[in-house]
Amino acid sequence: MRKLPKFTLLDAVIIVAVAALMGYIGYRINVGIHYKWNWSAIPQYLLRIDKNGNWKANLLMQGLLTTIRLSIWATLLATIIGTVVGFFRISRSLFKRMLGRTFVELIRDMPPLVLIFIFYYFVSGQIMPFLGLDNFLRNASKPAQNIVAFLFAPPQYFTAFLSAMVTVAIFEAAYIAEIVRAGVQSVEKGQFEACRALGLSWWQTMQYVILPQVIQRILPPLAGQFISTIKDSAIVSVISIPELCFQGMELMASTYLTFECWITITALYLILTLSLSLMVERFEIFMRRSTA
C-alpha cells in the first residue's frame, strides 16, 4: 500500500512564509499604490446573457476558447513534425540526420517572436493570396464560416490564426523532436538486434517492441512540452490573435482592472495546465497497467 507523505515542520514553515509573502504583497497593493479592488466586475467579462436570455462567452472566455483551439492544433501539428524530425535525428541516412539536426538547432536558437513575424508576413503575404483561401472563406456559406470559426477562428482572423498555429507548432516541434530522439535511443540496442534476428521489419519493430516502451518513457517530458505550448501561445498576442492574453490586455486597457484581469488570466491558465497534467498522469497509469 502506498504511504502518504508526512506533513513536516518544514512544510508548515513554507506555507506560513508563502502566506505571509502573499499578505505583504496584498498590503503593498492596497497601501502603497492605493489600488481599489473590483472583483464584482470580472464575472460579466467571462459570461454574458444575450438578448434571447442565453448564456454566451464574453471577452475572457472567448480568449480562453481561442487559446484552447490554438494549443490543440499547434500540439497536434508539433507532435507530427517533432516525431518525424526525431526519427530523422536517429536515421542511418546522413542527409536525414543533418536535416533533423539543422531544424532543431535553428529553431531552438531563434526567438519565437522572430518566428511569429516571419511566418505571419510570409503566410499572410504570400501563401494566402496564392491559395486564395481568404476569398474562399469570405464567399463561403454561413454554415461553413461557422464551422471554421468553431474549429479555428472567425474568417477575419483565420490568416493570423494559421500563422500563429504554424509558428507555435514549429517552435515546439524542435523540442518534441529531441524528446522522441532521446526516448528511442534510451531503448537498449539489444532489443533492436533481437528484432532483426527474428526477421521483424523496421515498422514491426517500432510498432510491437520499441514504441510501447518509448511512449511510456517520454510521456512526462511530452506533458511538460504540451503545457509549455499552452503558455507559449500567449506570445501570438503580438499579431492581434484574440487569445486569452490579448483579450486580457484589451480589457485591462478599457477598465483599468489591472490586477483582477491578470489574476483571472493566471487562474484560467492554471485550470488548463493542471487539467492537462491530470489527464496525462491518468494516461501514464493506464499505460503502465497495460504493459505490466
Structure confidence by residue, pLDDT tens digits, 271-290: 988 888 888 788 777 767 76
Give domain status of residue 26, yes or no: no
Determine the pLDDT at residue 269: 92
Give domain status of residue 256, yes or no: yes
Give domain status of residue 254, yes or no: yes
The three cell numbers of residue 256 are 483599468
Please compute the mean of the pLDDT values over residues 231-251 and round it to a whole number: 87
Please compute the mean of the pLDDT values over residues 252-259 and round it to a whole number: 86
Give phi and psi for 232, each to the nearest 5: -70, -20
Model confidence band, residue 76 (pLDDT cutoffs 50, 70, 90):
very high
The owner of cell 530523422 is 88
Give domain status of residue 41, yes or no: no
152 residue type, one letter: F
Give domain status of residue 47, yes or no: no
Radius of gyration of the chain (CA): 24
Instruction: Say which DSSP state 198 is in.
Output: T
What's the CA gap between 154 and 150, in Å, rounded? 8
When divided into structural domains, the chain yields a total of 1
Residue 33: is its pLDDT beyond 80?
Answer: no
The three cell numbers of residue 13 are 514553515
Residue 2: is its pLDDT beyond 60?
Answer: no
Average pLDDT, the chain: 84
> What is the domain-level CATH number for residue 137?
1.10.3720.10
Please compute the mean of the pLDDT values over residues 227-248 and round it to a whole number: 87
Residue 119: is its pLDDT beyond 90?
Answer: no
Residue 125: is its pLDDT beyond 80?
Answer: no
Beta strands 47-49 and 55-57, pairing class: antiparallel
Determine the pLDDT at residue 103: 93
Give domain status of residue 16, yes or no: no
Determine the pLDDT at residue 290: 67
Please compute the mean of the pLDDT values over residues 121-129 and round it to a whole number: 71
Residue 159: is its pLDDT beyond 70?
Answer: yes
Determine the pLDDT at residue 200: 83
Q: Are 160 and 241 in contact (CB under 8 A)?
A: yes
Give domain status of residue 38, yes or no: no
Model confidence band, residue 150 (pLDDT cutoffs 50, 70, 90):
confident
Model confidence band, residue 74 (pLDDT cutoffs 50, 70, 90):
very high
Please compute the mean of the pLDDT values over residues 37-59 and round it to a whole number: 84
pTM of the model: 0.83
Give domain status of residue 202, yes or no: yes
The owner of cell 539489444 is 190
Q: For 181-229, how does the pLDDT look when each residue is reduced to its tens digit (9 = 90+)? A: 998 888 888 888 888 888 888 788 888 888 888 888 888 888 888 888 8
CB atoms within 10 A of CB 24: 10
Identify the domain containing residue 250 by its residue range.
Answer: 57-291
Determine the pLDDT at residue 5: 65
Please compute the mean of the pLDDT values over residues 243-265 and round it to a whole number: 88
